[in-house]
Amino acid sequence: SNLAGVIQHEVYVPCGETDPAGHLDRLCQLIEDLLEAPRPAGQRVRGIGVGVPGVTLVPEGIVTWAPSLGWRDLPLQDILAERFDLPIFVENDVNLAALGEMGFGAARGSRNLVCIAVGTGIGAGIIIDGALYRGHNHAAGEIGYLLPGIEFLGQRYDHFGALETLASGTGVARRARSLLEREGEEVFSQEVTAEDVFAAAREGKSWAKKVVSETVDYLALAIASISVVLDPEVVVLGGGVFRSADLLIEPIRRRLEGVIPYVPRIVASPLGRRAAVMGAIMLVLNATTEYFVVKRLP
């Protein structure tokens, strides 16, 4: 981006299935591709912001735990700084999304907010009085590990938490396949995805509507717990699952009415997958420049 936070070049690369070293190699290649992209004359790169789907120590930039990437205690910031000789800023990806929503998106002007991303996993970025809240272990917002009921006590969750197993994109797909098999209905020729479930719900398929209704329940429980503890002004919902926000947000609001003292404003992210990118831009610009001009996205 430029100094006004306007994105000038974008590259999207799927993570794919690989080992921990392969994920690191792919990240480095992506950064190299971006650094080699054409840019206006006279512009120089001031820094690099990186969002990681896992627990990240700040300001050290050590990824202590990122199960989806297989990273543990990885000094990512030092590795990238040595390779690229630029200021590097590493942060949890949903924390960056929260910054992006506060600066450019649905929470613009808010100082107390929660950004929840529901995709392959579930995580939250928490901003209190205008500042990110990370917690003692820098693990605040790992809401995928919320317990939706007492029956989840006594079980062990190493890679994905109890809520994630039910309400993430993979959790939605897993519950749908289980329901189809139990009821003896026709199973998709290919593996069911969350997108298949939401599409079937729009078509009025009873099994899909049941799965979506349960997903609403699980997410409403999570938002209720978060809201009574943090009392946010706004909860921004993003990630792949909320591409189907029309089936989720209004029912979640209805579930919360009369259940908690104050229902926050609940909105879908207008930034989509750009939210974490915009947060990374804010992070780098705030750290490397003496001024920051916020402009509308093109």
pLDDT number for residue 267: 97
Question: Per the domain annotation, does 128 fall within a domain?
Answer: yes
Is there a contact between 76 and 62 (Cβ–Cβ < 8 Å)? Answer: yes
Q: Mean per-residue pLDDT for 273-286? A: 93
Given a cut of 70, is residue 266 above it in pLDDT?
yes
Distance CA 113, CA 165 (A): 25
Question: Per the domain annotation, does 3 fall within a domain?
Answer: no
pLDDT tens across 200-251, in order? 999 999 999 999 999 999 999 999 999 999 999 999 999 999 999 999 999 9
CATH number at residue 202: 3.30.420.40
Q: What's the total number of domains in the chain?
A: 2
Q: Are residues 139 and 256 in the same domain?
A: yes
Q: Are residues 86 and 129 in the same domain?
A: no
Q: Are residues 255 and 118 in the same domain?
A: yes
Given a cut of 50, is residue 291 above it in pLDDT?
no
Q: Are residues 121 and 256 in the same domain?
A: yes
What 209-214 contacts at long range (C-beta under 8 Å, 24+ apart), as own/partner pairs, is: 210/179, 211/172, 211/175, 211/176, 211/179, 212/247, 212/248, 213/251, 214/166, 214/175
Distance CA 72, CA 298 (A): 38
Question: Per the domain annotation, does 261 fall within a domain?
Answer: yes
- Show the domain range for 110: 106-269
Q: Could you tell me the two tokens for 47?
A: 């820094």
Question: Per the domain annotation, does 9 fall within a domain?
Answer: no
pTM score > 0.85 for this model? yes
Q: Which of 119, 126, 16 is nearest to 69 (CA)?
A: 16
Q: Over pLDDT 90: what percentage of the chain?
A: 77
- Mean pLDDT: which of 178-182, 263-267, 272-276 is highest? 263-267
Q: Are residues 158 and 80 in the same domain?
A: no
Q: Are residues 179 and 59 in the same domain?
A: no
Question: Per the domain annotation, does 250 fall within a domain?
Answer: yes
